[in-house]
Structure 1
Amino acid sequence: MIVLKILAVPFMVALTLAVAILSFLFSLADWIFGVLSGLFALCALFALFIEGDTAWGIQGLIIAFCVSPFGIPALADWLLDRLAELTGSLRGFITG
């Protein structure tokens, strides 16, 4: 059992570093996606109501939703949380 714990230490260190780096990158990407979401929504609403282009307006709103904090960033946040839980489980295995 001690051999498995010794073998698990490098994976725990790598996962801890990966979670830290990915959390930082996620915070930057979340800000960028928020700005893009606002721009897509404004352009889509402009196309929908001013130009009367219904197809582009709806597509733009769908894209705006996907890059909003409720779309792809929410999925990335969920995956990052699962990775952090995996790191915690591995840390518990090693120390417990």
Structure 2
Amino acid sequence: GLLYVSSFIFGLASTVVALLGIAVLVTYSPQNGVILLVIAFLVSPLGLPMAAAWLVGKVQDLRFAIQDAVYG
């Protein structure tokens, strides 16, 4: 349940920042708009949360490799 709620909140925040980024890109400054779009991607469930899940998987792989090396 907690994962679903956090994913929903991150998705909602990402949507708001992406819409703001598109508005800034079109009306004000292309550079600031692109920066906001990158931030929106990082906040989205496919950005930093996915990178964290990948990193946890790699740490678990390392743990299993060490465990196999020690216990055979």
TM-score bracket for this pair, using the shorter chain length: 0.5 to 0.7
The 5-angstrom pairing of residues 15-94 of structure 1 reads: 27=3, 31=7, 32-49=9-26, 52-54=27-29, 55-94=31-70
TM-score where L is the length of structure 2: 0.63
Larger Rg: 1 or 2?
Answer: 1
Larger RCO, structures 1/2 (Cα 8 Å, 6+ apart): 1
Unaligned residue ranges in structure 1 (runs of 5+): 1-24
Structure 2 unaligned spans of 5+? none
Cα drift, residue 94 of structure 1:
4.5
Compute the displacement of 1:64 (Å): 0.9
Q: How many residues align?
A: 69
How does the TM-score come out when normalised to structure 1? 0.51
CA apart distance, 1:81? 0.8
How well do the aligned residues superpose, as a CA RMSD in angstroms? 2.8
Give me the whole-angstrom Cα distance separating, in 2, the residues matched to 1:80 and 1:36: 24
Whole-angstrom CA distance in 1 between matches of 2:66 and 2:12: 36
What residue identity is the alignment partner of 1:34?
A: G
CA distance in 2, matches of 1:60, 1:75: 19
